[in-house]
Amino acid sequence: KSSWLARLKTGLSRTGQSLTTLFVGVKVDEDLFEELETALIMADTGVDAAQSLLKGLRERVRQERIEDGDRVRQVLRELLAEHLRPLERRFDLDRPAPIVTMIAGVNGAGKTTSIGKLARTFQQQDRRVLLAAGDTFRAAAREQLVEWGRRNDVTVIAQEGGDPAAVAFDAVKSGQARGMGVVMVDTAGRLPTQLHLMEEVKKIKRVIAKADASAPHEVLLVIDGNTGQNALAQIKAFDQALGLTGLIVTKLDGTAKGGILAAVAAGAQGVRPVPVYWIGVGEGIDDLQPFVADEFAGALLG
């Protein structure tokens, strides 16, 4: 556990560096507050979250007559953790099976990697996993997934050139018949047009509901933590199309933009504060960790 936290910390410290060094031996005054606000905005928290955090910080500093820079850092860390806490959400495995989980995200976000990590996490908790390969266009991607499934004891439903919605339908039916714990439906990340992409994922969702009226039970969006403010636009678009139940935020082991979660929590740019189930902190199979606000704030602010 300590190793991935260290990696998260190293990753986030690309901004955190400037953040944590700001506190060393400083005079606690308006200059410091302004520097902190700028540093938070640079970390992509957005202006609203930065201002609201600094407002809280100024109040605490005044009330508690804080004069020590290091104490200011601790208070800001507490305030950030409080701000992020509403985003914490645990994926509940104790529900009627199969739990049908649709996974969306643009290409390169870390969808395939995250699905692999999730399959393993669920298996470790004694759930059998079935995967529907939504990308029916790219043969290589499909074959890779099937091969990966074979090695990891995960059933993969794939179909050459077929309709992704039909593949999803089959997967849900098959998951029911075979007593699977979790059915994960992967969706394609790149299509000729963005509009087309949204129409396709909406169709997949509709067709899943035909296989099981209560499904999908979860609709997760994978976003690359390096994307910065554009992540907000992605969340908005997919939420509008699908009604997201949660986020997976990847690549937080190497980003200067970890503040984006603060922007999500603040509902920046009209985004709904969609909860964060997991964060990706590396390329390895174990590098998907539950999102814990305290740990995250600690990694960012020491």
Annotated binding site for GTP: 105-112, 186-190, 250-253
Measured from the CB atom, the residue of 45 and 112 that comes closer to ligand GDP is: 112
CB closest to ligand GDP, residue no: 280
Using the contact rule CB under 6 A, the part of the chain among 73-81, 199-207, 281-289, 290-298 near ligand GDP is 281-289
CB 163: neighbour CB atoms within 10 A? 14
> In the structure encoding, which two tokens stand for residue 274, read together?
């969609």
Using the contact rule CB under 6 A, the part of the chain among 31-39, 144-152, 207-215, 275-283 near ligand GDP is 275-283
Whose CA is closest to 35, among 48, 268, 26, 263?
Answer: 26
Whose CA is closest to 161, among 144, 140, 145, 138?
Answer: 138
CA distance 256 to 44: 8
> In the structure encoding, which two tokens stand for residue 301, read together?
């602010």
Measured from the CB atom, the residue of 23 and 91 that comes closer to ligand GDP is: 91
Measured from the CB atom, the residue of 128 and 251 that comes closer to ligand GDP is: 251
Cα angle, residue 129 at apex, residues 231 and 272 outer, rounded to 5° = 25
Using the contact rule CB under 6 A, the part of the chain among 58-66, 79-87, 159-167, 278-286 near ligand GDP is 278-286
149 is a site residue for ligand GDP (CB under 6 A): no
Look at residue 224 and give its three-state secondary structure. Answer: strand
Measured from the CB atom, the residue of 121 and 250 that comes closer to ligand GDP is: 250
Restricted to residues 164-193, the positions that interact with ligand GDP (CB under 6 A) are 189
CA distance 40 to 46: 8
CA distance 29 to 166: 62
Whose CA is closest to 57, among 8, 19, 17, 13?
Answer: 19
221 is a site residue for ligand GDP (CB under 6 A): no
Query: H/E element holding 118?
Result: helix 111-124
- CA 161 vs. chain centroid, Å, equals 29
DSSP secondary structure code for residue 98 in this structure: P
Feature table: binding site: 105-112, 186-190, 250-253
Measured from the CB atom, the residue of 136 and 250 that comes closer to ligand GDP is: 250
Please state the closest distance from residue 14 (CB atom) to ligand GDP, in A.
Answer: 13
Residues in binding contact with ligand GDP, number by CB under 6 A: 18
Cα angle, residue 18 at apex, residues 15 and 24 outer, rounded to 5° = 145
Measured from the CB atom, the residue of 11 and 46 that comes closer to ligand GDP is: 11
223 is a site residue for ligand GDP (CB under 6 A): no
Restricted to residues 90-119, the positions that interact with ligand GDP (CB under 6 A) are 105, 107-113
Please state the closest distance from residue 249 (CB atom) to ligand GDP, in A.
Answer: 9
DSSP string, 136-161: -S-HHHHHHHHHHHHHHT-EEE--TT
283 is a site residue for ligand GDP (CB under 6 A): yes
Measured from the CB atom, the residue of 16 and 280 that comes closer to ligand GDP is: 280
Q: Which positions from 244 to 273 touch ligand GDP by CB under 6 A, shown as an x/- string?
A: ------xx-xx-------------------
Please state the closest distance from residue 245 (CB atom) to ligand GDP, in A.
Answer: 19
CA distance 235 to 109: 12
Q: φ, ψ for residue 217 (rounded to 5)?
A: -85, -25
Residues that bind ligand GDP (CB under 6 A): 105, 107-113, 189, 250-251, 253-254, 280-283, 287
